[in-house]
Structure 1
Amino acid sequence: MTKDTAVSLWDTSAAEADYENETLGDVTVDVAIVGGGFTGLSTALHCAEKGLSAHVLEAKQIGYGGSGRNCGLVNAALWLQPQKVREKLGTLYGPRFIKKFGSGPEYVFSLIEKHQIRCEVTRTGTIHAAHGPSGYIDLKERHEEWQRLGEPVDLLSREQVSDMIGTNHFHGGLLDHRCGTINPMGYCRGLARAAMWAGAAISTGVRATKLERDGSLWKVETDKGTVTAKAVILGTNAYTDDLWPNLSRIFTMIHYFQLATKPLGPEADHILPGKQGLWDTGQIMFNIRRDAFNRLLVGSMGKVIGSKDQGLSHRWAKKQIARIFPNLGQFEFDEAWHGQIAMTPDHLPRIYELDVNLFTPIGYNGRGITTGTMFGETMAGLLTGMDRADLPLPMTALQTVPTAPIVSRIYQSAFTANQVLKAI
């Protein structure tokens, strides 16, 4: 499969080698996995380590979807305040989910260390920055709850956060010491390498076209052959299509875009000197980070409109960087890209049992690195006798969101308007 363009900056900068294998034929395995991103590859790795034969089917390339387009912040838990997660999931699952997914970054870092994945990892935390006074009030509430739970999260004053970020643009922040940053495509390819070393098979450029029961088995028909399996895991998240009826209609799809500068010199040393990743409390979220090659990345909700060299998103990024870091001077952009996020109505992910031995974890709400990785471990556990009562959240019935396509278009219009206003 020849790539026409890079998926993202990470596609060309990742130290881990890409993997291509379009051959398939007819094969029989314990587990067929659709999707070669964080979820599918983590599932394959954990299944293989538990002695199951697993085969990943990826329609494009490893990390083609949200995994390879991620901004690379390895964050803990969810966007929601932990107390709101507890309210939504109840006294049994709420604390369990918060504890497990609060440790998500540590689990990701442990896999990176175990398998020596080359993905530019940093472990200096991430900063949740207050976009204004109301955002700081929200962060104080989050801090109080994380302190109650005994987690290493610090509340930063405006002066403290200004020193850490290199600007007085923000009104304070939370520094979460559990977290860090990675090159997400490097991590994805590293998971693929680890999965294959453990015994899993991966086919890229192979699209699953039909899924049906055949007695006690499943048949996944593709454009290159058929996979017969005892169980199937759909790990497609925001890139879910119509392979299973109505599955693509259970979330609202939004886009998130990034622009990365060319490598900067010493003039950028004052920007995030600790290499923390940052996202803010704004209703239309904004993020900043520096990568291992001293590129500055900025992003927000919406699509790239134009290119890295011209157009609305280019003007937006230029204005944002100049506004936040007025002393940076001249710079050019290296790459621009966007990906898709699956947003659920309550901002919680889901685990669905769509049929006997057919599962999908889905609806990550922008937390794909940790959620996809940990749900991969969970899927392998389910297939090897894990008690469903021990799941991090309960399985729920499939429920579509009829207004999702309309809401998605409304969001996109709002995100485009935001770019226009901030590009002026």
Structure 2
Amino acid sequence: MMTVEEVLSSNLYTQQVKKLYKVGDILGLHADQLEALATPERVIQVKIQVQSNDGKIKTFTGWRSQHNSALGPYKGGVRYHPNVTQDEVIALSMIMTWKNSLLQLPYGGGKAGIRIDPKMLTRTEIEMLSRNFIDALYKYIGSDIDIPAPDVNTDSQIMAWFLDEYNKVSGKIDPGAFTGKPIELGGLSVREYSTGLGVAHVTKLASEKFMDGVEEKKIIIQGFGNLSTYTAKFLSEMGAKVVGISDSKGGVLNYEGINVDKALELKRATGSVINYPGKQVSNDELLVSECDILIPGALENVINKFNAPKVKAKLIVEGANGPLTADADSILRERGIPVVPDILANSGGVVGSYVEWANNKMGEIIEEEEAKKLILNRMERAFNEMYSKYNKLGDQDLRSAAMIVAVERVVKAMKTRGLI
């Protein structure tokens, strides 16, 4: 029998459709228009085979969902995870459509995933897996078609293998076909930390609207991967006090404040943050612990109808994609707890990817500080647009305001093209 958590994590697509239909009702969209918006333009399923050192053939399944191209080529990451499903990949590609639209990037939404536990493969096998994935997909990607990037359990090295294999099998030299690449292959150093930088910046902007700023505020961050680590670092530099962090093995609370660099050193040395001085808690306990700002930055659907009534934070910023269910949205709205949605909060990564892609297209002319400024300015503009819509609506939450802005742009583009 599936646990509650498994059930909730298995229907991310259903949750995203619920959120879309809520916004569609506000915008007065017809059922056929909503169906067109909810349905991906193309979903590609591929079989990927890897030969291990002992000669055995391992077979894995992967997907690429190309959700919507009304605003431009598909854009979104590739994740390697044992729980990846086709529905999850489609849902995440839909989120990318709204995210790119909200940030006024010239992209549609895409996402890919391979159902695999990368910890069970050697480095050589991961390289073979990555190259074989591109062999199966190369006809459907490119800098003007679909631009993959890193996501869960993928990084700049995997993007390097992707690019090299793509160049070989396509016969093209197209560095803009992938983002999040190593600097030597046309990547930008800002891309490494741009998602965490964006989450921290949006948290600062929201705290200025809903409380008296971020300084000295107690912050809990679920997760301690790339995104959450950089988020914690930047927020600490802003004067906030990180009091709770976690990884897959559990979490730790320390209301004296957590030194992010020391926690990172400890995680590297011991494999987990739970050994940091403080009170050890489960991830579930962490989400409902005392704090000013909660940043769920790991998995989807972790805040739901079961624990949303127990959340003690005064502000939630979605670091991960889809960490709140539609039911949780309603409960938190009734409780008066603002939620900054994922399509804005964690968009620093795709804005960083946009800067990298544009730099590749123009011939490598952007410096790091200029790139950083472009990312922060683009996110601040989107935040102000969302907040203005939120105030104008009066009776809606921040997610609805952000999605109204995003969906409206996609609808206008599709109508202009004659697609709906």
Q: Could you say whether these structures have the same fold, taking a TM-score greater than 0.5 normalized by the shorter chain as the test?
A: no
Please identify which structure carries the higher helix content. Answer: 2
Higher relative contact order (CA 8 A, sep 6+): 1
Structure-2-length-normalised TM-score: 0.29
Structure-1-length-normalised TM-score: 0.28
Please identify which structure carries the higher strand content. Answer: 1
